[in-house]
Amino acid sequence: MDLVQKILEGDPRSAARLMTMIENGAAESVSILKSLYRHTGRAYVIGVTGPPGSGKSTLADGITGDLRQRGKTVGIVAVDPTSPFTGGAILADRIRMQRHSLDPGVFIRSMATRGHLGGLARSTNDVVDVLDAAGKEYVLIETVGVGQDEIEIVRSAHTNIVVAVPGMGDDIQAIKAGVMEIGDLFVVNKADRDGADKTVMEIEMTLHLGKETDAWRPKVLKTVAVKAEGVAEVTREILEHQAFLQQHEGQRRKGRERSYWVFFELLQERLTTRVIEQVASNGTLDRLIERIAARETDPYSAVEEVLKRAGL
Amino acid sequence: MDLVQKILEGDPRSAARLMTMIENGAAESVSILKSLYRHTGRAYVIGVTGPPGSGKSTLADGITGDLRQRGKTVGIVAVDPTSPFTGGAILADRIRMQRHSLDPGVFIRSMATRGHLGGLARSTNDVVDVLDAAGKEYVLIETVGVGQDEIEIVRSAHTNIVVAVPGMGDDIQAIKAGVMEIGDLFVVNKADRDGADKTVMEIEMTLHLGKETDAWRPKVLKTVAVKAEGVAEVTREILEHQAFLQQHEGQRRKGRERSYWVFFELLQERLTTRVIEQVASNGTLDRLIERIAARETDPYSAVEEVLKRAGL
């Protein structure tokens, strides 16, 4: 339990050690996370989601710089869909972020899926909790966002930034659609390229199509993150949204939502693992799969059988 | 049970009706899927995965044309990360695919996540089974592929095609990494753009880094799908891979893997829903979430409590 104390004191090496345990699925991490949990809930969590090549890292880097200038401490979690094949993406992120690497007020962590099944949203949540307990006032989660999985990763953020770039081709509508509802703020990065205003307009149009469920009206901002153009305004808008949430009790609501998602992700993972282990241990799983493959039974009936055996 | 018979006879309207039931999560769909299941396992399933704007639809369109010329029937499942916000992506796909819309040998279906939680891999599997039972000889699954979720959608395909485009920027490594292991065939589309050969080389280098677990050596092909350049070779390579799998008992292995994933996805979904419903019905869920949000307990302890109550 020495590790708990050291993390609470903000020791980066201890935080990194726990994060590695979380990523490796080490059983000891659970008791430490349990002890840390009551010290969490203070960090303000910001999601940065966008398609490949949209400059999310550079933007996150800029926002981090702005927050540091305001005297705030920052944790960054970069979620990469990487694999045992290559650690390239992780390395690239670390290099890109080296501007802050000597600053003790910034902690950067890259998360990789490493091909393991699901659980990424859960382990990202855990890492955010570690940064929160370690006293980081802002935590940025950066994801390559197109699919449902990425949305789940940032679902629990207080402010979600969706990054687009001009001229992404036919599929832009699909991307926009998938992440549209989660956006509290939209950024068209690389706005010195042709078509930036068109992309801004397209996003604004899509926003107007959506129902207004909140008093908050998401803005669409233009940036050229590599030249730091427009980034300060993005940071200001984040802080504006934070103030808005505090005024409207939104921070409490988001906190409750976050608790639900964290609980849900963890329940799903633990439940499935538990039941799969049960049926695998006595050979039932193998027999079921053989019978499904041979069309002697169907997946629905097989799952019903397993649920029944588990008394559910 | 009239619907079962009509689907087996290949009636497109009946197939579409069942697919809508599957997408809406209608309970009646389960008994129909059970009856259909023993008529499945004959279709050859092809995954087409790539980042937004890579021209997956056009490529899938071209492959479909080639297969039709060889007298084969084709089903296409286009998975879009869309939302209640906009049906634009679905519409765009339908328009793009209209070349085949009057051909009774082709059935096209767009799947949307509609913001519902998970279950997309499961419902895609179900739709593939419907097309399989309806007698389609080839089924193409098209996904905007970057994250773990998309990989799960095509995990059960016999041949997986990974599509890239030249000059995608910094994040290309992340994309490649995430989908690298699933690729049986790599296509650099829009190969008339600058940097096509560099992208081919990069993919080949990454392939050489990977362990050779199979005797199959994935090729990297160049296409300009809008001009139909190189598409015939992609189709030939798919058929080559199919022949390879048949020779090496790979089709049986893939069939077994597919059975496992279908079972796993379904089990995960049903289990979580069942348990969440149980704890929600008596107010336990609300109390637990309140206690997590108030830091009176932590997510791990809460999940353990729920598992214990469920006798797991």
What whole-number percentage of chain B has pLDDT above 70?
82
**A160 - beta bridge partners?**
A47
Query: Any residues with CB less than 8 A from the CB of A111 and at least 6 apart, and which?
Result: A23, A77, A78, A79, A80, A120, A123, A124, A127
Q: What is the mean pLDDT of residues A209-236?
A: 86
CATH of the structural domain B39-248, one choice from 3.40.50.1110, 3.40.50.970, 3.40.50.300, 3.40.640.10: 3.40.50.300
**Alpha-helical regions (H) of B38-147:** 56-69, 88-96, 120-133
Buried b (16+ CB within 10 A) or exposed e, A78-116: bbbbbbebbbbbbebbeeebeebeeeebbbbbbbbbebe
Distance of residue B229 Cα from the nearest chain A Cα, in angstroms: 20
CATH 3.40.50.300: does it fit domain A38-248? yes
Degrees, nearest 5: CA angle A288-A120-B161: 70
Which helix (H) or strand (E) segment holds residue A107: the answer is: strand A106-112
Mean pLDDT of A120-137: 92
| Residue A68 burial (10 A CB sphere; 0-12, 13-18, 19+) | middle
Helices (H), A148-298: 148-154, 172-180, 196-209, 231-247, 250-281, 284-293
Does residue A231 contact residue A59 with C-beta atoms inside 8 Å? yes
Lowest mean pLDDT among A99-108, A122-131, B166-175, B272-281: B166-175
pLDDT category, A95, cuts 50, 70, 90?
low
Q: Nearest-CA distance from A290 to chain B in Å?
A: 7
Q: Which two tokens stand for residue B255?
A: 């069939």
Q: Is B277 on the interface with A (CB under 8 A)?
A: no
Phi, psi of B7 (to 5 degrees): -65, -45
Q: Per-residue confidence at A309, pLDDT binned at 50, 70, 90?
A: confident
β-sheet bridge partners, residue A49: A143, A162
Residues of A within 8 A of B272 (CB-CB) are 264, 267-268, 271-272
Mutate to test the interface with A, among B21, B80, B127, B146 (most CBs of A within 10 A): B146
* Closest to B169 in 3D by CA, of B202, B139, B121: B202
Q: Is B168 part of the contact surface with chain A (CB cutoff 8 Å)? A: yes
CA distance A287 to chain B (A): 11
The C-alpha atoms of residue A221 and residue B142 are separated, in whole angstroms, by 32
Q: How many helices (H) and strands (E) does chain A have?
A: 13, 7
Question: Is A290's CB within 8 Å of B256's CB?
Answer: yes
CA distance B261 to A9: 44
A96, A57 in Cβ contact below 8 A? yes
CA angle A308–A148–B17, rounded 5-degree value: 65
pTM over 0.90: no
pLDDT tens, residue by residue, B106-116 = 998 888 655 44
Instruction: Please say whether the beta carbons of B76 and B136 come within 8 A.
Output: no
Span A270-284, mean pLDDT? 89
Of B52, B206, B255, the CB nearest to A169: B52
Asked if A214 reaches chain B (Cβ–Cβ under 8 Å), the answer is no
Q: What percent of chain B has pLDDT over 90?
A: 46
Whether B290 and chain A come into contact, CB under 8 Å, resolves to yes
Instruction: Find the mean pLDDT for residues B138-147.
Output: 80
- Which residues lie closer than 8 Å to B304 by C-beta, 6 or more apart? none
Hey, where are the domains in chain A?
38-248
The 10s digit of each residue's pLDDT in B23-45 is 888 889 999 999 999 999 999 99
DSSP class of B136:
-
CB spacing of A168 vs B53 below 8 angstroms: yes
**Residue B251's pLDDT band (boundaries 50, 70, 90)?**
confident
Residue B171: closest CA among A47, A92, A196: A92
Structure ipTM: 0.80
